[in-house]
Amino acid sequence: MNNLIKGEKYDWEMVIGLEIHAQVKSNSKLFSSSSTKFGSSPNSQVSLVDAAMPGMLPVINKYCVEQAVKTGVGLNAKINNYSVFDRKNYFYADLPQGYQISQYKYPIVGEGKVTIDFKDGTSKDIRIVRLHLEQDAGKSLHDQNPSKTYVDLNRSGVALMEIVSEPDIRTPDEAGMYISKIRSILMYLDTCDGNMQEGSLRADVNISVRKPGDEYGTRCEIKNLNSIKFIKQAINYEVKRQIEILESGGSIEQNTMLFNTSTGKTRPMRNKEEAHDYRYFPDPDLLPLEISKEEIGKIKSSIPELPDELKNKFIETYKLSNYDASVLTAEKQTSDYFNETINSDPELKNHAKIVVNWITSELFSLLNKNNQDLNNSPVSPENLGQLIKLISTNEISGKIAKDVLEDMFSSGKTARQIVDEKGLQQVTDQGEIAKVIDEVIEENPKMVEQYLAGKDKLLGFFVGQAMKLTKGKANPKMLNDILKQKLNKKN
C-alpha cells in the first residue's frame, strides 16, 4: 500500500497518534457523588468537591475503576495492579481545583493493541501505549458575550479514560478506522456510550510528516475533535500546512492547535512562552490504587463477546469475508440484528452472504433515507429473514424483493403478506416464459434482425420487454437462457 502524499518537491509520509478521551458510563463522578447526566441546567450537578471548596476530599468511584480495567482487557492490554493519581497543575477558568487529578507515571492500564480491518481484506495493528483515569474539566462558553466567558461545572470531575496510541497511524482513513474500532470496543463493553456529539468520546490528534525512512518529524497536536469527519479534515489540512512549511525551507514548531470546524483550518492555541509546565506530583489526598489479581480475574470473566471474537466466529461459522464480518461487528446493534436474522430460519445459514448484503446495503440505505436507526427498524430481523428466504427459494426475484422491502418498511407488513397480496411470486414456468418471449420476438422483427446481424447489446432490450410483460416477475436467469436459445435458433 502506498500511503505517501506528493508535495511540490518530495513525497511525504504522515505519522499520526491519537489520544482518545472516553467518558466512563457511570451514574456519578470519579471523585464525588454528583450526577453525570448530560444536558442538565448549568451548575446543577456540582458538589462542594467538584467546586473545589477548601477542605473537600476526593473519594474514588469503585465502578469507574472497574470500567477502566474492563476497557483495558478489551484493548488486549496489561492491567496494572498498582497505579497512582497525580495532580496535573494548570490555571483555567473551568478547572476550579487549579489541577486535574490524572495518572502520570503509573497508569491503571499499560500496553495493548487493537486491530483495524481494510476493505481489501488486510488488517493492521495499532499499538496502545496506556489508558489512564482522569477528571474531566468544566465547559466554557466563549461566544455569548464579547467580554465574558461563561462557565458550567456540570462536567467537572466526570470520569474520563484517556487512551493513548503509538504513532502507528499513517492516513486519515486509518485514524477514522482506529477511533471507530475503539468506539466499537467501548460500546460492546458498555464502558462508554460512544456518543461523539455529546462529547462522550473525543480525540486529540498528534501529527507530523517525514520523508519515508527518516526519523519522526516535529509534531503538532490538534485538540478536542469530536467527529470522525473533523478528525480526517483536520489531519488533511495540518499535513498540507506542515509540508508547505518544510518544502519552503522552514521548520515545524511544536504547537497545540485548534481546529475550526467552519473554515476547516487549524490554528495555534497557545504561544510558546506560555508552554505548559504541569508540575505533576502524586495527589496527597489519594492513596495509590491497588487492584488484586482476584478482582481483575472477576472483571475479566464478566466481559462479553468483543467485536474481534465475534468477527472470527462469523468468518468461521458463515464463511464470511474478513471485511463483511468486520462491518457486521462494528456496532453491537448490527451484529445482534444479523444474529437474530440468520437464526430466524435454519435455511438462512447457507445464505449468510445474502443476509449480510440485505442488512448492510438494502436495509441500511432505507434506514438512512428515513433517518432511522437499526435499533428501531420497522423491519424486524424475523421479517427480513422471511424475505431473504423467499429470495433464496426463488419464490421472488432479488429485484422485486427490493420493492417488497420498501413496502415492508413503510407498511409494517410481512414479506409473505405483501407477496401474496400483490401476487409477486416469480414466474418459473418454462412454458409461460417461452410464450412471453415468443410474443416479444414477434412484435420486434427489426430488432431481431439487428441482433442477429451482430448487435449483441439488443439482448438487454428483449429482456426488458419480456420483464415488462411479466411485471418483472419472470425468473431472470430462465428468461435469459430461453431468450438466447430462441434468438440463436433464428440464425
**117 or 152: CB nearest another protein:** 152
Q: How many Å apart are CA 193 and CA 230, to the nearest integer? A: 20
Out of 9, 150, 214, 253, point to the residue binding another protein (CB under 8 A). 150
Q: How many Å apart are CA 465 and CA 277, to the nearest integer? A: 77
Out of 288, 297, 412, 464, point to the residue binding another protein (CB under 8 A). 288
- Radius of gyration (C-alpha) of the chain in whole angstroms: 30
172 in Cβ contact with 180 (< 8 Å): no
Told to check if 2 binds another protein by CB under 8 A, we report no
Out of 142, 272, 457, 489, point to the residue binding another protein (CB under 8 A). 142
**Minimal distance, residue 29 CB to another protein, in Å:** 8
Choices 72-80, 88-96, 114-122, 333-341; region in contact with another protein by CB under 8 A: 88-96
Exposure string of 63-97, with b = 16+ CB inside 10 Å and e = fewer, is bbbbbbbbbbbbbbbebbeebbbbbbbeeeeebbb
Question: What angle in degrees, to the nearest 10, is found between the helix axes of 445-452 and 430-443?
Answer: 90
Out of 287, 300, 333, 464, point to the residue binding another protein (CB under 8 A). 287
390 in Cβ contact with 415 (< 8 Å): yes
Out of 6, 8, 54, 145, point to the residue binding another protein (CB under 8 A). 145
Choices 161-169, 286-294, 303-311, 415-423; region in contact with another protein by CB under 8 A: 286-294
**Minimal distance, residue 79 CB to another protein, in Å:** 16
Told to check if 52 binds another protein by CB under 8 A, we report no
Told to check if 290 binds another protein by CB under 8 A, we report yes
Task: For residue 369, give the C-alpha cell.
Answer: 433515507
Told to check if 151 binds another protein by CB under 8 A, we report yes
Q: How many Å apart are CA 96 and CA 53, to the nearest integer? A: 9
For residue 223, what are the CA distances in angstroms to 101, 133, 260? 19, 18, 11
**148 or 272: CB nearest another protein:** 148
Residues 6 or more apart in contact with residue 238 via CB below 8 angstroms: 205, 207, 220, 222, 257, 266
Told to check if 275 binds another protein by CB under 8 A, we report no
The pair phi, psi for residue 260, each rounded to 5°, is -90, 115
Out of 47, 242, 334, 335, point to the residue binding another protein (CB under 8 A). 47
Q: How many residues does the chain have?
A: 491
Told to check if 48 binds another protein by CB under 8 A, we report yes
222-261 footprint of another protein as x/- string (CB under 8 A) = ------------------------------------x---
242 in Cβ contact with 220 (< 8 Å): yes
* Chain centroid offset of residue 167 CA: 20
Residues that bind another protein (CB under 8 A): 26-28, 33-36, 41-48, 51, 59-65, 84, 89, 91-93, 140-142, 145-153, 258, 269-270, 277, 279, 282, 286-290
